[in-house]
Amino acid sequence: MSILRKIRKIIIGYNHDHTIKDNLGQTGEIHNQSDQDGSVESVYIEERINQKCGCFADVGGRCAECGAVSCVHCHQHCGGSDNPVSLGCGKPLCREHAHYRTIGDETAIPFCKQCASKMTRKKRRQIATHLLLSPFIDRETPQ
């Protein structure tokens, strides 16, 4: 069996910030001549590399914090991807750098570290203000 022709197509992603080339998979094609009957055999190979998140799904985006490529299902944006008005800065995030906070109706929304810290400080400030002003505010319940 002798190899007549090899074709290899490698898919790479280029990160402009860090000048890193990520191998996103490859396809190969090998044409052999069979030893048994002398016919030409074709073998098609497709290699899929799992993303940083561990999934084999299509590429969703690159994390703004670490530069890792995550899949479509695990890729998030700061403040949520589905909101019409983003609550955060909108940076793309991988699962490792998404800090989830519960908002109002028990919905967990991913935030970057800076926006999550900002929300925590705001919540603590509201609690402290409430505790400091509560002796001076008379909250009567209507009878």
In this structure, the answer to whether residues 74 and 86 fall within a common structural domain is yes
Task: Give 114-141 pLDDT, tens digit per residue.
Answer: 999 998 899 899 999 988 988 887 766 6
Q: Based on the fold, state whether residues 42 and 62 are members of the same structural domain.
A: no
The count of domains in the chain is 2
- The region, left, alpha or beta by phi > 0 then psi within -120 to 50, assigned to residue 136 is alpha
Q: Which residues contact 20 (CB under 8 A, 6 or more apart)?
A: 14, 67
Average pLDDT, whole number, for the chain? 81
- Are residues 19 and 80 both part of a single domain? no
Question: Taking the complete model, does pTM exceed 0.75, yes or no?
Answer: no
Contacts of 114 (CB under 8 A, 6+ apart): 89
Structural domain boundaries enclosing 86: 53-134
140 within a domain of the structure (yes/no):
no
